[in-house]
């Protein structure tokens, strides 16, 4: 059958200026998270909208391999499918029709040139009900974009509580593994939520099973180390209350307490000093100090009587 005529009529009658403003709204953060549709020229943009309007999806004699559905193979120069475009432009009625036609179909997991799935874009455009439909239709929440972020990583970064709630309620089958996945910067969802100071997300992630002492892969800092770096007393209190290990060491051997040196917030330093094991309070010796000690060993001292030119 053709796409519901009423839905398509509403979509095609949409004012282009209004749709353009929706596109620009997506650029409110520094990182480019859309798939580049804002860079389309006006005539290219109108052509895509026209193609969306002309698209029909037959309901009978459809081969599951998609031989009678060539629209599934259509992509823009940015790699966006019709589903990507429908979600980017918030053409929700049309997106719903596509999702219904693609239950448990690999088409739902197609990635554009930035390796974003429709699920990533639904989180970016703040469409939690679309996130739910995609998950129930079979979209894989473990897929990552070009930065290594799952849809849940993005929800944590953007502070999207609604999408976060849907993702954590509907992907319980894969949730444990997703909570352990670091993105390409070495950060888990918990690290990202801590960075962004989303305390309610931090609490929920730990309750869901996120490892509160997980180390980011660059220097081995835990979320508590990051809280000290950020000089965020509330986050420090929250993590300690949730059971963060104050004696956890970075790859360089530093506790969170060590990171308070040279920082202004004395309350954070006091809180951590009281909780840090006594033997871990002194700063670890540097490699250069160890090298100097080796040079002054007893074996080296036997040559200290060598003289040159009487000296």
Residues 97, 83: Cα–Cα separation, whole Å: 10
Q: Are 259 and 269 in contact (CB under 8 A)?
A: no
Give yes or no for residue 49 having a pLDDT over 50: yes
Q: Quote the pLDDT of residue 284.
A: 86
Q: Output the pTM of the full model.
A: 0.74
CB-based contacts of 5, cutoff 8 Å, min separation 6: none
- Looking at the chain, the domain(s) classified CATH 1.25.40.20 span 141-211, 213-285
The CATH number of 141-211 is 1.25.40.20
Q: Rounded distance, CA 232 to CA 51, Å?
A: 50
Mean pLDDT of 50-54: 60
The domain covering 213-285 belongs, at the CATH homologous superfamily level, to Ankyrin repeat-containing domain (1.25.40.20)
**Count of positions (residues) in the chain:** 311
Question: Using CA atoms in the order 143, 148, 154, 158, what is the torsion angle rounded to 10 degrees?
Answer: -170
Q: How confident is the model at residue 106 (pLDDT cuts 50, 70, 90)?
A: very high
Coil, helix or strand for 273?
Answer: helix
Q: What is the mean pLDDT of residues 103-128?
A: 97
């Amino acid at each position: 059958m053709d796409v519901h005529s009423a839905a398509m009529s509403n979509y095609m009658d949409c004012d282009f200026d209004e749709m353009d403003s929706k596109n620009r709204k997506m650029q409110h953060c520094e990182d480019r998270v859309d798939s580049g549709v804002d860079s389309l020229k006006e005539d290219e943009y109108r052509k895509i909208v026209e193609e969306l309007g002309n698209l029909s999806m037959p309901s009978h004699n459809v081969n599951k391999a998609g031989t009678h559905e060539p629209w599934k193979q259509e992509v823009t120069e940015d790699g966006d499918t019709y589903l990507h475009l429908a979600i980017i432009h918030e053409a929700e009625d049309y997106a719903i029709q596509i999702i219904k036609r693609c239950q448990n179909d690999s088409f739902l997991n197609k990635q554009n040139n930035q390796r974003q799935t429709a699920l990533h874009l639904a989180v970016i455009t703040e469409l939690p009900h679309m996130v739910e439909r995609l998950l129930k239709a079979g979209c894989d929440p473990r897929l990552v974009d070009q930065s290594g972020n799952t849809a849940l990583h993005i929800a944590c970064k953007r502070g999207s509580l609604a999408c976060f709630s849907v993702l954590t309620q509907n992907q319980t089958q894969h949730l444990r593994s997703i909570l352990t996945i670091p993105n390409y910067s070495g950060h888990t969802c918990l690290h990202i939520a801590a960075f962004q100071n989303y305390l309610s997300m931090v609490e929920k992630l730990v309750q869901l099973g996120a490892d509160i002492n997980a180390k980011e892969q660059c220097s081995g800092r835990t979320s508590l180390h990051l809280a000290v770096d950020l000089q965020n007393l509330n986050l420090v209190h929250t993590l300690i209350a949730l059971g963060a290990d104050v004696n956890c060491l970075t790859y360089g051997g530093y506790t969170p307490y060590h990171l308070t040196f040279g920082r202004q917030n004395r309350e954070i330093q006091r809180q951590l000093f009281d909780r840090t094991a006594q033997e871990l309070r002194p700063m670890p010796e540097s490699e250069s100090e160890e090298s100097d000690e080796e040079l002054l060993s007893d074996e080296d001292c036997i040559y200290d009587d060598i003289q040159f030119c009487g000296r």
